[in-house]
Amino acid sequence: MFNSKLRNFSLGKSLGMSLVLLAFVVGCGEQTEQQVMVQQAMKIEQADSCHLCGMIISNFPGPKGESYASTQDDINKFCSTRDLFGFILQPENKRQVKEVFVHDMSKTPWGQPNDEYFIDAKQAWFVIGSTKTGAMGKTLASFSVKSDAEVFMQEFGGQLYQFDDITLADL
Q: Which of 144, 100, 106, 107 is nearest to 122 (CA)?
A: 100
What gap in Å lies between CA 18 and CA 124, rounded to an integer? 43
> Would you place residue 137 in the very low, low, confident or very high pLDDT band (cuts 50, 70, 90)?
very high
pLDDT one-digit tens code per residue, 76-135: 999 999 999 999 999 999 999 999 999 999 999 999 999 999 999 999 999 999 999 999
Provide φ and ψ at 9, rounded to 5°.
Answer: -65, -45
Spatial contact of 105 and 133, defined as CB atoms under 8 Å apart:
no
The three-state secondary structure class of 140 is: strand
pLDDT one-digit tens code per residue, 34-85: 344 346 899 999 999 999 999 999 999 999 999 999 988 899 999 999 999 9
The three-state secondary structure class of 162 is: strand
pTM equals 0.77
CA distances from 139 to 11, 13, 123, 153 (A): 65, 63, 18, 13
> Would you place residue 11 in the very low, low, confident or very high pLDDT band (cuts 50, 70, 90)?
very low
59: Cβ–Cβ under 8 A, 6 or more apart, which residues? 79, 135
Which ranges of 39-145 does DSSP label H, i.e. alpha helix?
81-88, 91-94
